[in-house]
Amino acid sequence: MKIKVQPMGEYQTNCYIATIDGKDFIIDPGLGATKWVMENVTNPVAILNTHGHFDHVWSNAELQEKLNIPLYTPIGDVMLLSGSGWRPDLPPSKPDVEVQPNQEFDFDGVKVKFRHFPGHSEGNSTIEIGDAMFSGDFIFERSIGRTDFPYSSPDDMRASLKRFKELDYDKTIYPGHGGTSTIKQEQQYADYWIANL
């Protein structure tokens, strides 16, 4: 698998293009992502959202229209795509697929697993493709997503971290902001965050 990344917008939100078996998956297309995505895909098959915050979904609708491919968004965050208390100018988008918690999809042999880890937002999920986990704003390198936003929940984040700590495999983590890490590395800090939320 080849992974391209470009930080987008004022919050430097990572937009990813994951290419596996000749298929391009666009993950979290934020503010201004359309031009970069269009220049870097050859066979786009889907747009995938880890969650619904504006800096991760800004270019959803534009890319849906230009590429004529489906948008997958966790069902708990669909409401955030059509309105934003932070950015009322957010271009609204509508998912073609409202992803159920922990749902897995098969794109002609390429497995895409959404793993529900609420806390930062109600629908917040990681997306696993091959040996990669795209963690959105759930887990960063030595940090976790904020829980002081509307629809955030420290209790949900604690429960999610406990489940994350129990994962019995390792993958490279590609977060929504900043650099990469691994599941095993970040599991070392889970107890700290659970105790300090």
> Count of CB atoms within 10 A of residue 109's CB?
8
Give tens-digit pLDDT for 148-192: 998 999 999 999 999 999 999 999 999 999 999 999 999 999 999
d(CA 49, CA 73): 5
Tell me which fold the domain 2-196 belongs to: Metallo-beta-lactamase; Chain A (3.60.15)
Domain ranges of the chain: 2-196
What's the pLDDT at 87? 80
What's the pLDDT at 146? 96
Please state the pTM of the whole predicted model. 0.97
d(CA 93, CA 168): 36
pLDDT of 97 higher than 80: yes
Mean pLDDT score, 35-64? 98
pLDDT band, very low/low/confident/very high, at 84 (cuts 50, 70, 90) = low
d(CA 147, CA 158): 10
- The rounded mean pLDDT for the chain is 97
CA distances from 53 to 13, 45, 62 (A): 11, 22, 16
Is the Cα torsion angle 26, 107, 126, 123 positive or negative in sign?
A: positive
What's the pLDDT at 88? 80
pLDDT of 5 higher than 80: yes
